[in-house]
Amino acid sequence: MKPSKPIKTRMEWPGNRAYRNRYLVPDLTPEQRSQLVSLKPRLLFVAESPHVNEIEPDDIAQRRPLCGKAGQAFWHMIGRLLADEDSTDTSLERELRLCQLGNFAVLNAVQFPLDPKVMQVTGLACDPVTNLGFSKVAPTMYKKLRTTKPVETAVELLRERLVHPSLCNAPVVSLGLDAQWFVDRAVGLIGESRHLMTVPHPSAWWRQGGKFREKARAQLTELLMAPDLRVKSGRRSSRTGAAAR
């Protein structure tokens, strides 16, 4: 598979260019991956934000969503459903291949790490509060700061990506409730309901004796195998429980 060309984004936030260049994780979308330029996704998976494994590569073109432990679970199940593959490989090449095979895209609601735990590896250079103005934990959690400019900007940037011509007609599936929080606000700005359902975040699949894994398997089977995906008028976002992250 050909290497990615330099990633082009409209990201003007945060203001620190060095931080943007080092820690932004590009989406698996036609807009941000040259290998997917001809893809017309029928489905968009949205996770909340990248973590340590996602920001590890120095080369921005090699950074990709869902390549840690949660990503291993996600791509293992996707590979099983689409190609009967028993693999936890989260290489960029495999992720792109499965996106093409299943005709879907994968985004992070916020393309930078929100969990302060990343600083255990990166140090203060990746502090989400310093660089973004919020994080995913109290007292600087995005939910508490939802009316502040940084959080509003994050929601607006997600909206911009969701209305890109290559994605604007595809329904949205949130991976976990944290992702759904951002998606609900972004699609609200669009003025239409595109949120199809919420699948438990892969990091929570082991909980409740694996019940979340089985729920996710059933949902993903429906999503990937259905001939037509439409958001029913007035349909509310599917709730998966607080433990679904």
- The domain spans of the chain are 23-230
pLDDT, tens only, 17-67: 899 999 999 999 999 999 999 999 999 999 999 999 999 999 999 999 999
- Answer yes or no: is pLDDT of 109 > 60: yes
Q: Rounded distance, CA 174 to CA 155, Å?
A: 14
CA–CA distances in Å: residue 196 to residues 100, 231, 237: 20, 5, 7
More confident residue, 141 or 193: 141
pLDDT, tens only, 81-92: 999 999 999 999
Cβ-in-10-Å burial (0-12, 13-18, 19+) of 242 comes to: exposed
Q: Rounded distance, CA 203 to CA 112, Å?
A: 18
Locate 2 and state its tokens: 């050909």
- Answer yes or no: is pLDDT of 129 > 50: yes
**Helix/strand/coil percent split, the chain, to 5:** 45, 10, 45
- Answer yes or no: is pLDDT of 238 > 60: no
pLDDT at 4: 45
pLDDT at 239: 44
Span 196-204, mean pLDDT? 96
Span 214-232, mean pLDDT? 87
pLDDT at 234: 42
Span 149-156, mean pLDDT? 95
- Answer yes or no: is pLDDT of 243 > 50: no
pTM exceeds cut of 0.85: yes
pLDDT, tens only, 14-25: 668 899 999 999
Q: To which CATH superfamily is domain 23-230 assigned?
A: Uracil-DNA glycosylase-like domain (3.40.470.10)
Q: Rounded distance, CA 224 to CA 79, Å?
A: 11
Three-state DSSP class for 173?
A: strand
